[in-house]
Amino acid sequence: MNWPRIREIILKKDNYTCQKCSFHEEKGKELEIHHIIPKIYGGKDQLENIITLCSICHHFAPDHNEEFKKYINEKINGKILNSFRESKKSISQKTTFGMERKSKEGGAITKAPLGYKIINKLLVPDPEKEQQISQLFTEFCTENTSLNRLAKKYGLTTNGLKKILINKTYIGIITFAGKTNKGLHQPIISEELFQQVQEKINSLSKNKIYLE
């Protein structure tokens, strides 16, 4: 069955009403459909797995099944969202909104950072390079070395190395349009190590010795 047809069936099933805030709209332009179990986790295009949400409630919907159940059971009054609905009517705002949602689902990722591969639009650790990344973080953190020296050792530019060391993707976070979300991918670096590396980078920059 094609997508517009599935959408039409789901909207009808839910009486053109957002299942969280009860926002109702016959034409359904502001309504979206959401997979309760995302397709990348094996969720199907079946009636019981798809639900109608307005674009705002959809935006904030958690990706994980159990959290989503909690989310959908906490009903809110759609009227409190009305001013927000008005303000995001311009096309550009709407586009950013949709893309953000995509990034949350992992759909907007087109380039994998070093240490990951993209398989079925999902970031997956690259077994060959994952080790190198964790070695990089550990070495920078524990050894008395500069960004410059470490970059040379790994055949990277200093700037390239710095970008890796501050990339939150490695702790499982996706950044898009300045906002961060928990990604669906597996972290390579522990938050503790990442934090230590950030502190070291900051203190080196402060003392202006990272370009030595």
**Residue 156, helix vs strand vs coil:** coil
What is the spatial distance between Cα 69 and Cα 23, in angstroms, rounded to a whole number? 19
Among 18, 123, 136, 189, binds Zn ion (CB under 5 A): 18
Q: Which one of 10-18, 93-101, 142-150, 156-164 is the stretch in contact with Zn ion (CB under 5 A)?
A: 10-18
Q: Does 61 bind Zn ion (CB under 5 A)?
A: no
Q: Does 57 bind Zn ion (CB under 5 A)?
A: yes
CB of 46 to Zn ion, least distance (A): 22
In terms of Cα–Cα distance, which of 91, 4, 20, 102 is closest to 56?
20
Q: Does 54 bind Zn ion (CB under 5 A)?
A: yes
Q: How many residues sit close enough to Zn ion to count as binding (CB under 5 A)? A: 6
Specify the residue, 86 or 143, whose C-beta has the smaller distance to Zn ion: 86
What is the spatial distance between Cα 155 and Cα 187, in angstroms, rounded to a whole number? 23
**Token digits for 137?**
């973080």
- Other C-beta atoms closer than 10 Å to the C-beta of 185 total 20
Q: Does 51 bind Zn ion (CB under 5 A)?
A: no
Q: Does 21 bind Zn ion (CB under 5 A)?
A: yes
Specify the residue, 30 or 126, whose C-beta has the smaller distance to Zn ion: 30
Element (H, E) at 116: strand 116-119
Cβ pair 50, 105 in contact under 8 A = no
In terms of Cα–Cα distance, which of 139, 149, 118 is closest to 193?
139
What is the spatial distance between Cα 88 and Cα 82, in angstroms, rounded to a whole number? 10
CB of 23 to Zn ion, least distance (A): 5
Q: Does 114 bind Zn ion (CB under 5 A)?
A: no
CB of 17 to Zn ion, least distance (A): 9
Among 11, 17, 23, 137, binds Zn ion (CB under 5 A): 23
| Residues at the interface with Zn ion (CB under 5 A) | 18, 20-21, 23, 54, 57
